[in-house]
Amino acid sequence: MAFRTNLMPTLQEKSTSGAVATFNTALAMPLVECKTDFMCTQASGTPSPSNPIPIVPVSAISLSANGTTVSVSLGDDRYGGELDVLTGRGQITHARTNLGNLAWTTLASGRHRASIYDMYHYSSTTADGMCTNYKPVNNEDVQTVDYSISAYTSGDDSRYVQVNDSDLNGISPSAFTQAVSGVYFVYQLETPINIQLSANELSSIIGNNTFSTDTGTLELKYKDLDIAKRGNFREVFKLPTTTN
């Protein structure tokens, strides 16, 4: 007497993603991976010196795992990154700086710039970061916005931020530093920072599964039976018919 091994189910690793990630499984098993990204937020509107718009960090991620809420602390105020909830390993991709803490120089145009070469990931194709008091714009669009902050590179790939505010043009670097003290700028890091947080275990259930997050997009990996062999369990596991 022997099992019909050709019908025995095998496990497959599968994946799904989304702000709401759903899947159907025949087994209740721990997830293989549960990654989620997160990013600070800012209310709508155009920031200006007379209309600063605060930037709200993320200190915890709220997950819903098949109707159960799981709160994952990020250990501090974070401004952008990703986390594997199962292992607690993550990366911080964005940070915040007070413009008053940068070393500013005055250009011939009267504008002011600060070097951020070692910390800033510059992209010439997108408007970078967020600012409480100025609108981040592409370098090409600097002239079109009255109150803006732009990032750019020079010929030697040095990276700078520049505040474009005609009311502050021509003043000394120390006076400018004082004027922008308390203005916050969130930017993408040139090199992400690795973090290690507490691990969490999340499991699937038999049937329909729904996982969601309040911060971004989930990427889930889970194990399930081979689709071709998960339908008829009675047939899969029964002993072969014997005759006398």
Q: What is the pLDDT of residues 23-58, one digit of tens each?
A: 999 989 999 999 999 999 999 999 999 999 999 999
Work out the number of other CB atoms within 10 angstroms of the CB of residue 233: 12
State residue 75's pLDDT score.
92
Residue 244 has pLDDT above 50, yes or no: no
More confident call, 86 vs 151: 86
Dist. CA 194–CA 199, nearest whole Å: 15
Residue 168 has pLDDT above 80, yes or no: yes
At position 19, the amino acid (one-letter code) is A
Say yes or no to pLDDT of 209 above 70: yes
**81 pLDDT more than 70:** yes
What confidence category does residue 151 fall into, taking pLDDT thresholds of 50, 70 and 90?
confident
21-25, 111-115, 123-127, 228-232: least confident range? 228-232
- Please, are residues 57 and 40 in contact by the beta-carbon 8 Å criterion? yes
pLDDT at 235: 46
* Average of per-residue pLDDT values in the chain: 85
What does each C-alpha distance from 229 to 15, 24, 130, 222, 223 come to in angstroms? 19, 14, 51, 17, 14
Confidence band of 231 (pLDDT split at 50, 70, 90): low
Query: Quick one: what percent of the chain has pLDDT higher than 70?
Result: 80
Q: What is the pLDDT of residue 7?
A: 56
pTM of the model: 0.81
Average pLDDT rounded to a whole number, residues 73-99 = 95
Across 80-87, average pLDDT: 96
Mean of pLDDT values over 3-26: 81
pLDDT band at 140 (very low <50, low <70, confident <90, very high): low
- How would residue 136 be classed by pLDDT, with cut points 50, 70 and 90? confident
Q: What's the chain's Rg over C-alpha atoms?
A: 26
Q: Is the pLDDT of residue 143 over 90?
A: no
Among 24, 33, 29, which residue's Cα sits nearest to residue 11? 29
Question: Which sequence spans correspond to the domains of the chain?
Answer: 32-201
pLDDT of residue 6: 55
